[in-house]
A and B are shown apart, each in its own frame.
Chain A
């Protein structure tokens, strides 16, 4: 089966850097996604990793290590609008997304 773990909640300061970790176990793997979800809204796509390494996209970067079953989302120069839940999702061998429970990120001034 599959399993995804990510912290329930994190707090960071405006302007700082935060790293949200995601670990997973799976028998089939077709990539790992990160989505952002503001309260009361649907998720929006942030990043996709299928090969090991770091993918940078502006203030957001995502890292993957397939051998370790590990990914992280790195957010730099935090802004208040970054307060949201961040969902880690694994794409399995059937191309279905398996969702983590999400990490609620609270940004303080």
Chain B
């Protein structure tokens, strides 16, 4: 099956710093990647849809200047949390859509990045 990696898996940072999270599709090309946030015991919340070579589409209520998304290649998307604050502490998960021939438009998830802002 399709594999998506995410780095780092854990990050602890001071308030006010910026954190970059990478999402890579390892064995397929992903023209579209998705960034989710999940708070404890809650469902996934879509933050933005990242399209290769174009600007990301952000969901309502998500600050695009705070959560910078770059999808420079067909296998890599990055999410940068700028000037992180404790309320940004969460589990960030990316997924990539595999549109291989004959495939259902399944989203495959990275392992997630747990961010703790002190």
Contacts and interface: CB of A to CB of B under 8 A. Distances in A.
A42 B105 contact: no
Given A41-B111, A42-B93, A42-B111, A101 B42 contact: yes
B69 to A, nearest CB: 16
A31 interface: yes
A96 B108 contact: no
Contacts, number: 43
A93 B111 CA distance: 27
B77 interface: no
B104 A41 contact: no
A95 B105 contact: yes
* B interface secondary structure, majority: strand
Interface residues of B, number: 20
Contacts of B49: 96
Sort chain A's interface into a size bin: 20 to 34
A31 B104 contact: yes
Contact of A45 (B93, B106, B114): B106
Which 5 A-B residue pairings sit nearest by Cβ, starting from the closest? A42-B109, A101-B43, A42-B112, A48-B104, A42-B93
Given A31-B105, A42-B110, A43-B93, 18 more contacts: A33-B106, A33-B107, A35-B109, A40-B91, A42-B109, A42-B111, A42-B112, A43-B109, A45-B1, A87-B43, A87-B44, A96-B46, A96-B49, A97-B34, A97-B107, A99-B43, A99-B46, A102-B43
Interface of A: 30-31, 33, 35, 40-45, 48, 50, 87, 91, 95-97, 99-102
